[in-house]
């Protein structure tokens, strides 16, 4: 936990003026809200405490009240391959409110999440057998209070020896709100079916949240957003379609379970995240060229969308180069980092290699579209550049799209997911790890920059040219 109290070195000396607060008119008033069962993969430096303890808006008593949606309209079921047993389980599933969940059930729920998802990253302190014994030892006696249940979960997670896997109190969990990328309190995941097709299923949602109140349930399939068919789209793309300004409405079409009726629901967004992006155009000394400076403070739900706005505006204003400032960016959403890296890379270029017990983390992640911009990029890093920031920095560096300037990065190559328990608390669990396109294991090592001090623009171009020639030859 020392990183929370460390006296970090000064950032690299640059000719750029210190970052300022962005003018309010530069960014949309969009933000993001949620508490859900599985928030999705996040990353942070040393501990997700760094993510939840940084200044951020919180759900408070003076937040705008949620307005109930209009009555939904049911339509006839669409043909589908139905699993009757699974469908019956979904229909009979009872969602319990926090006060009706026993202390033993909360502890067992946390145990099951670790049992299903935890990735031992080398400490060799976890095994199915030892973890099963842990459950028997803990649940062998009555747990009288909720605070005792939470304390048992903390001890259970601590026994794993993983500094990133930890318990979140309900108050701490609510601070994760800025990482929901849908704005309506659901988590969408791509799920293959028996025919080889991919469906977009609701894999987590908050009880009494916007989507849940409107009638969305765990396991529902998302079919359309605002009348646009989502077949062939990724979960991230559909989540982006769901985003919009606070208190506006979005209409989604869902199918309940595998073979239930389809239903169109109008859901009001509730949003709390703030833009993590600041940008400006700067004139290069003794040159007619201009540089587009972009500072990204964290990888929250608005990071990609607002960075796209910044890049397009800076390019329209005549930027010849880009500076992406990731200093002191401790991470955030892994998927946001991946999607931001895609903005710079050619189709087919590797972003990251990931591994994990869950098949969704066992893959080679590549760019699947043409880059948004092709101008040279300088990425500023320091010893507090971590996790999702390191994913972006290494992807751009290893594919010869950017030079790195500053200090060696923090060195965290693990992926966590945040799961909500039924009493509003949560657990953060290490579920995967990654290596860079050049197969560098970042965890514990960090990334060495190309330059300690800011180079001349001719040096940047020459370095990128040599990198490309080396890859080709």
pLDDT in tens, 114-148: 999 999 887 667 788 888 988 888 877 789 999 99
Q: Which DSSP string corresponds to 171-239?
A: HHHHGGGGG-SSSSSEEEEEEE-TTS-EEEEEEEE-TTSHHHHHT--TTPEEEEETTEE-TT--HHHHH
Q: What is the pLDDT of residue 221?
A: 93
* Domain-embedded: residue 153: yes
User: Of the residues 297, 412, 417, 425, which is catalytic?
Assistant: 412
Residues 385 and 412 in one domain: yes
Residues 450 and 302 in one domain: yes
Domain boundary among 153, 178, 203: 178
Domain that residue 339 falls in: 277-472
Residues 237 and 299 in one domain: no
* Domain-embedded: residue 254: yes
Q: Which residues contact 423 (CB under 8 A, 6 or more apart)?
A: 98, 101, 106, 146, 170
Residues 172 and 191 in one domain: no
Q: H or E stretch including 156? A: helix 146-158
Q: Which DSSP string corresponds to 98-118?
A: GGGS-HHHHHHHHHHHHHHH-
Q: What is the C-alpha to C-alpha distance for residues 54 and 300, in angstroms, rounded to an integer?
A: 12
Mean per-residue pLDDT over the chain, rounded: 78
* Domain-embedded: residue 404: yes
Which pLDDT tens digit goes with each residue over 362-418? 789 999 999 999 999 999 999 999 999 999 999 999 999 999 999 999 999 999 988
Q: What is the pLDDT of residue 138?
A: 84
Residues 409 and 434 in one domain: yes
* Domain-embedded: residue 386: yes
Q: What is the pLDDT of residue 126?
A: 78
Residue in this structure with the two tokens 């043409």, named with its chain if needed? 370
Residues 412 and 346 in one domain: yes
Residues 288 and 367 in one domain: yes
Q: What is the pLDDT of residue 83?
A: 56
User: Of the residues 387, 389, 417, 425, which is catalytic?
Assistant: 387
* Domain-embedded: residue 144: yes
* Domain-embedded: residue 26: no
* Residue 169 bears catalytic tag: no
Residues 169 and 196 in one domain: no
Residues 404 and 441 in one domain: yes
Q: What is the pLDDT of residue 376?
A: 94
* Domain-embedded: residue 383: yes
Q: What is the C-alpha to C-alpha distance for residues 55 and 57, in angstroms, rounded to an integer?
A: 7
Q: What is the pLDDT of residue 123?
A: 62
What is the domain count for the chain?
3
Q: H or E stretch including 325? A: strand 319-325
CATH label of the domain that carries residue 292: 3.90.226.10
CATH label of the domain that carries residue 129: 3.30.750.44
Residues 246 and 346 in one domain: no
Residues 294 and 201 in one domain: no
* Domain-embedded: residue 287: yes
Domain boundary among 144, 178, 212: 178
* Residue 305 bears catalytic tag: no
Domain boundary among 155, 178, 201: 178
Mean pLDDT, consecutive 10-residue stretches, the chain (473 aa), reads 24 39 32 33 36 26 30 38 52 52 92 92 76 86 91 93 92 78 84 83 78 89 94 87 88 88 91 87 84 95 92 95 96 92 96 84 87 95 96 97 97 90 90 93 94 90 89 77
Residues 284 and 416 in one domain: yes
Q: What is the C-alpha to C-alpha distance for residues 406 and 450, in angstroms, rounded to an integer?
A: 8
Neighbours of 364 (CB within 10 A): 10
């Amino acid at each position: 936990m020392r990183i929370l109290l460390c006296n970090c070195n000064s950032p690299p000396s640059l000719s750029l003026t210190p970052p300022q607060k962005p003018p309010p008119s530069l960014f949309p008033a969009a933000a993001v809200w949620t508490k859900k069962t599985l928030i999705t993969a996040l990353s942070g430096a040393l501990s997700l405490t760094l993510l939840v303890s940084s200044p951020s808006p919180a759900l408070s008593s003076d937040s705008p009240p949620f307005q109930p949606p209009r009555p939904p309209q049911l339509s006839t079921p669409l043909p589908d391959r139905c699993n009757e047993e699974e469908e019956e389980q979904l229909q009979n599933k009872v969602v319990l409110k926090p006060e009706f969940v026993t202390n033993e059930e909360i502890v067992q729920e946390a145990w099951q999440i670790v049992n299903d998802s935890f990735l031992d990253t080398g400490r060799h302190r976890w095994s199915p057998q030892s973890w099963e014994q842990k459950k028997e030892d803990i649940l062998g006696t009555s747990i009288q209070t909720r605070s005792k249940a939470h304390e048992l979960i903390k001890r259970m997670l601590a026994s794993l020896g993983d500094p990133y896997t930890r318990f979140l109190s309900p108050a701490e969990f609510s601070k994760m709100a800025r990482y929901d990328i849908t704005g309506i309190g659901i988590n969408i995941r791509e799920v293959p079916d028996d025919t080889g097709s991919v469906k977009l299923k609701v894999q987590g949602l908050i009880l009494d949240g916007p989507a849940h109140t409107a009638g969305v349930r765990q396991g529902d399939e998302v079919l359309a957003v605002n009348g646009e068919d989502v077949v062939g789209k990724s979960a991230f793309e559909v989540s982006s379609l769901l985003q919009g300004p606070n208190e506006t409405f979005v209409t989604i079409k869902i199918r309940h379970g595998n073979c239930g009726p389809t239903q169109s629901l109008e859901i009001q967004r509730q949003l709390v995240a703030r833009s993590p992006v600041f940008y400006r155009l700067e004139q290069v000394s003794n040159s007619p060229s201009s540089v587009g400076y972009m500072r990204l403070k964290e990888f929250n739900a608005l990071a990609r969308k607002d960075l796209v706005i910044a890049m397009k505006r800076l390019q329209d204003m005549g930027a010849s180069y880009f500076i992406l400032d990731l200093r002191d960016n401790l991470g955030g959403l892994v998927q946001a980092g991946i999607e931001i890296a895609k903005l710079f890379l050619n189709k087919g270029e590797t972003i990251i290699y990931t591994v994990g017990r869950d098949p969704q983390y066992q893959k080679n992640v590549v760019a699947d579209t043409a880059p948004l911009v092709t101008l040279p990029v300088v990425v500023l890093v320091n010893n507090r550049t971590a996790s999702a920031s390191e994913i972006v920095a290494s992807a751009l560096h290893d594919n010869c799209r950017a030079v790195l300037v500053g200090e060696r990065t923090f060195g965290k190559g693990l992926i966590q997911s945040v799961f909500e328990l039924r009493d509003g608390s949560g657990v953060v669990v290490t579920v995967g790890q990654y290596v860079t396109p050049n197969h560098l294991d970042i965890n514990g090592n960090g990334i060495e920059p190309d330059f300690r001090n800011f180079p001349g623009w001719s040096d940047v171009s020459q370095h990128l040219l040599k990198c490309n020639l080396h890859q080709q030859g």
